[in-house]
Amino acid sequence: MKPLKCFCILFLAIMLAPTTVLQAKNKKDKTDSKQAIQTTGTQDRATWVKLMWKIAYPVVHNLAENTLRQNMPVESPNGNPKGYDQITHLEAVGRTLAGIAPWLALADDDTEEGKLRKQMRQEVLKGLKNAVDPASPDKLNFTAQAQPIVDAAYLVHAFLRAPKALWEPLDEVTKQRYIESLKALRNRTGAYNNWLIFTGLNESFIAWAGGECDPFRLKIARNKIREWYVGDGWYSDGPSFSMDYYNSYVLNPMYVAMLETMVLTKRAGQKELDQALQRMIRHAEFCERIIGPDGTYPAFGRSVTYRSAAFQSLADVALREKLPAHLKPAQVRCALTAVHRNLYEGDQNFDQNGWLVLGFNGHQPEAADGYTSTGSLYMATLSFLPLGLPADNPFWTEAPENWTSRKAWQGEYLRKDYKVEY
């Protein structure tokens, strides 16, 4: 064989070998990727319940036992608990309950999950009474500082998400204490941004619960949030736009909840509510698309320590069974399962006693905002809203599906994404 011919054959072999290896690797990666999501909906639900319980139980149990202030740590970015210790407990309670409320609203049954749910509901109801009892060491603060305006709204959101499970069973004295606690917030104002929606939701709830709301506060909240819509499912957070997760943390879900409550009390029309819901559905699509093939997502913007609360819009839409036709419930389930497992299956986000720590994925106090403390972190439960769907719902029974970013990176069919005009 001539030297030139030998060289050509050798060159081709060298050039083709890596390609062959790469093709084999890609094929293996795709196989491994598909295998990684081959858990059933039943298995996924069990994982969700386990992880949600892991997050919520310390808050719920200690409030029921009147030991929340005693046992809950008060971690702050500056290392000084002073000031934070007046507000962080209401944060923890309101934010935890806002996420677990739909699950607590499910009917009792004899399954292991059902027994856990009944236990937690009983403790939540006991804790809710303690939270406004003047004689309780865990009576929550509604009267000092501005922050309670925020977290009262999360507590209100919990009541609205599960009225028959969390509000109706309360005795009349306790109900009235909550209404008076919400009215006590009126002597303060917060920031000229997403804080308006907290005020609006609080006032809409007072009216829903039979109290006398402040129509001016309600009107301002409604009008400004409507004014701050910038298009394609996104709201500006105040006069200027912020690129972060607040559209999911607050703006879309709470605006819809406020309008729903206002429709019930004939203070808003169904058309306005339908439009707001369509916008949240659109925003839910963005939430699903930012979940990477491995179940990670970008750590950007304010309040990244709220962790999986970044997906509240998606979780809320899934709970409502309002996902667009091209976004299958199973792919949302699989995407959120991957997120939950990444964040909560290990212990990197919990201290030795099971309380959440400041950080995004680990103890990273440098990532916390100045307004953040331990209680703030319990917005994490908001990504677990679909647990309010019963176990026989298609969300849990459909076969596993790749989510959008997995489909994109594996060369599967990728639906074009384009703006909407709602």
**Per residue, what are the HEC states of 18-57?**
HHHHHHHHHHHHHHHHHHHCCCCHHHHHHHHHHHHHHHHH
pLDDT digits 0-9 by tens, 362-420: 999 999 999 999 999 999 999 999 999 999 999 999 999 999 999 999 999 999 999 99
Sorting pLDDT into bands at 50, 70 and 90, what band is 23?
very low
What's the Cα-to-Cα distance from 94 to each of 1, 51, 90, 158, 324, rounded to whole Å? 81, 18, 6, 7, 30
CA distance 142 to 149: 8
User: Is the per-residue pLDDT at 9 higher than 70?
Assistant: no
What interhelical angle do 270-289 and 312-319 show, nearest 10?
Answer: 120
Gyration radius from the chain CA atoms: 24
pLDDT digits 0-9 by tens, 325-360: 999 999 999 999 999 999 999 999 999 999 999 999
Answer positive or negative: Cα dihedral of 236, 238, 240, 244.
Answer: negative
Average of per-residue pLDDT across 213-241: 96
| Phi, psi dihedral angles at 311 (to 5 degrees) | -110, 20
Residue 405 contacts by C-beta under 8 Å, 6 or more apart in sequence?
289, 290, 291, 292, 293
User: Is the per-residue pLDDT at 216 higher than 50?
Assistant: yes
CA distance 257 to 239: 22
Lowest model confidence (mean pLDDT) among 20-34, 88-102, 228-242, 303-317: 20-34
Which tokens is 73 given?
């740590």
Mean pLDDT, the chain, rounded, equals: 93
- Residue 38 is predicted with a pLDDT of 77
User: Is the per-residue pLDDT at 195 higher than 60?
Assistant: yes
Amino acid letter, 215: P
Sorting pLDDT into bands at 50, 70 and 90, what band is 20?
very low
> Is-contact 342 296, C-beta < 8 A?
yes
**Could you give the residue ranges of the DSSP H alpha helices within 241-328?**
246, 252-264, 270-289, 312-319
CA distance 315 to 311: 6
pLDDT digits 0-9 by tens, 102-159: 999 999 999 999 999 999 999 999 999 999 999 999 999 999 999 999 999 999 999 9
- Residue 75 is predicted with a pLDDT of 97
Average of per-residue pLDDT across 260-283: 98
Question: Domains, the chain, ranges and CATH?
Answer: 40-409 (1.50.10)
Average of per-residue pLDDT across 287-293: 98
**Could you give the residue ranges of the DSSP H alpha helices within 171-214?**
172-183, 195-208
Neighbours of 377 (CB within 10 A): 28
pLDDT digits 0-9 by tens, 31-73: 344 445 579 999 999 999 999 999 999 999 999 999 999 999 9
CA distance 190 to 103: 31
- Counting residues of the chain whose pLDDT is more than 70, the rounded percentage is 91
Closest CA to 375 of 97, 103, 65: 97
Q: How many residues does the chain have?
A: 422
> Is-contact 369 305, C-beta < 8 A?
yes
